[in-house]
Amino acid sequence: MADLSLDRPLPVAPSGYRSSGWWGLATVIATEAALFVFLIFAYAYLGSQSATPWPPGGAPALRLAGPNTVVLLASSLAAWWGQKGIERGRRGQLVLGLAIALVLGAVFAGVQGLEWAAKPHGPSDSAYLSLYFTITGVHLAHVAVGLAVLLALLVWAALGEFTAARHEHVGVGLLYWHFVDAVWLVVFTTFYLTPRMGIF
């Protein structure tokens, strides 16, 4: 019976502590993931209906996007390492991990900008380029939000807001950052790898 378990003391926590915040973010991720599913669906649909070869001009080059993918994954790794630190009460490790993640994330965004600039045509040139700029753009917007989250966590960490007993924000915020990375893998696979695999 439910009331039996009430006899033991319960953890008293600020709202959002433990699962509320985590579940909240999990639902955000579910709905955001759905958004990307529909955008990728648009890519697949227009690709499948295209009368001309798809993608026009062949698969895009991996020269920038390949290494950039590694940069983004490394940033997730750094953030994860920082989180491990605060779980053991090492605030310095958290600050360092977040700072590295932030820099790597910013590098990713910058390289993505270079890649955009290198395209000879703009988003209004063809359906394919509309898709390319829009989907990578929506992802970049998520990167921007993620960087803002990392920045906020970094500031709070530097101000000493987090301790071994109190760091729920770090776990939840970084979950979002890992999600942004995971989405990039899907976007990357769609635009860069599937054409090479002979799908579309």
Q: Read off the tokens for 91.
A: 């605030």
Q: Quick one: which of 146, 154, 169, 183 contacts other proteins (CB under 8 A)?
A: 169
Contact with other proteins (CB under 8 A) among 65, 95, 104, 131: 131
Q: Which two tokens stand for residue 161?
A: 């807001």
Residue 117 contacts other proteins per CB under 8 A: no
Per CB under 8 A, 120 contacts other proteins: no
Which two tokens mark 33? 């993931």
Instruction: Give the total of residues touching other proteins (CB under 8 A).
Output: 58
CA distance 172 to 191: 29
Between CA 180 and CA 178 the distance in angstroms is 5
CB of 10 to other proteins, least distance (A): 5
167 contacts 86 by C-beta, under 8 angstroms: yes
Please list every residue from 33 through 92 that binds other proteins, using CB under 8 A. 34-35, 37-39, 41-42, 45-46, 49-50, 52
DSSP string, 135-150: HHHHHHHHHHHHHHHH
Residue 133 contacts residue 126 (beta carbons within 8 Å)? no
- Residue ranges that bind other proteins, judged by CB under 8 A: 1-3, 5-20, 23-24, 27-28, 30-32, 34-35, 37-39, 41-42, 45-46, 49-50, 52, 123-124, 126-128, 130-131, 133-134, 138, 148, 152, 156, 161-163, 165-166, 168-169
